[in-house]
Amino acid sequence: MNFELSEDQRAFQRTARDFARDRLAPNAGKWDEDKHFPAAELREACQLGFGGIYVSEDHGGTGLSRLDAALIFEELAYADPSTTAFLTIHNMVAGMISRFGNDEQRGRWLADVIGGEKFVSYCLTEPGSGSDAAALKTRAMAEGNSEYRVNGSKAFISGGGTADLYVTMLRTGGEGPRGISCVVVENGTEGLSFGKPEQKMGWNSQPTSTVSFQDCIVPVANRLGPEGEGFRYAMMGLDGGRINIAACSLGGAQACLDAAREYIKQRRAFGKTLSEFQALQFKLADMATELEAARLMVHRAAVALDNAEPDATMRCAMAKRFATDACSHICDEALQLHGGYGYIKDYQIERFVRDLRVHRILEGTNEIMRVIIARKLLEAAA
């Protein structure tokens, strides 16, 4: 197995690293404090090719792999996990439109999404159905042959109120996963409304709100694929989403590890630098080891998904569970190594701690990741 990156992959990394250093890092703290959505910088990222990473070149994207995407998102998240996480959602939805949409739908939306002219949100979670996504209640009733009347609401939607398109899982049939379809709802549609922005612990550079539908009339022509395929599309998207959020965790943890290493080399106590104390050396060594293990798992899962390996879903769940837990712990340890300074906003460590905490919840909680892993293991043993 070759662990070396190709020259193309190193080029993607450099481009993402330079953009993160020049356009994200100088402003990330301010965006967090002001709860500012950096639309201009996200459009710049899209213009670099980061808006349609795994959209095929035939459809106007860059046609990169899941592993390529993980490398890019890690570099961007080194500066700003919150803004990068929104970009991962944008890419996931772009990929869904590319893969499951028809030529007319791709022609109508995809170029603007890839170029960052339109931002997109992914609407699956509901107030009464989080981990049990197949129990969603928001319903789309057929109105003749050409329209749906949509009623219900979605919760915790990144980009709610700001995004231009909402790729939404709606119940068009009976109970269970086979009754769910995937429909694109455009901002400005009558009956579509948004709750007030949620006041969050982290991820403050992207707005989060409820998305509500009250007798919202949506053309059947906005449905991606046949009726009843929405839940399958959603689950396919989540495998990649789990790799993406794990990659964002890698970037945040690497930033905190690097900051902690430099800090303990400079900070002095009892006549020595902190880096001369073996207990702190061991702590740093454990942080670096956990980060390397997490990175290897994420990359292996990305390759499995790229190759459509039979155990790809399990590997994505494993990587998401391990990496988000480990990286959150690394950031917390980095804060501890900074002492009181780690708790102060000027040092930015606390921002990474807050931003990475939610990674253990979204894209399926880490408890649900354990359910998926155990189920796959038991199926294999049957």
Hey, which residues are catalytic here?
A: 363
DSSP H helices in 101-141: 103-105, 111-114
Q: Which helix (H) or strand (E) holds 233?
A: helix 230-266
Is the distance from CB of 360 to CB of 329 less than 8 angstroms?
no
SS3 assignment, position 291: helix
CA-to-CA separations, 23 to 15, 27, 109, 327, 369, in angstroms, rounded: 12, 7, 27, 24, 34
The Cα 153–Cα 142 span in angstroms is: 18
Q: Which helix (H) or strand (E) holds 372?
A: helix 366-381
3-state secondary structure string, 241-289?
HHHHHHHHHHHHHHHHHHHHHHHHHHCEECCEEHHHCHHHHHHHHHHHH
Query: What string of DSSP letters covers 297-340?
Result: HHHHHHHHHHTT-TTHHHHHHHHHHHHHHHHHHHHHHHHHHTGG
The Cα 123–Cα 227 span in angstroms is: 17
Is the distance from CB of 31 to CB of 79 less than 8 angstroms?
no
Angle between helix axes 66-77 and 81-100 (nearest 10 degrees) is 160
Name residues whose C-beta falls within 8 Å of residue 220's C-beta, 6 or more positions apart in sequence.
142, 145, 146, 147, 148
Work out the end-to-end distance of the chain between its first and last CA atoms, rounded to an integer number of angstroms: 30
How are beta strands 165-171 and 120-123 bridged, if at all? parallel
SS3 assignment, position 155: strand
Cα Rg of the chain (Å, integer): 21
Q: How many residues does the chain have?
A: 382
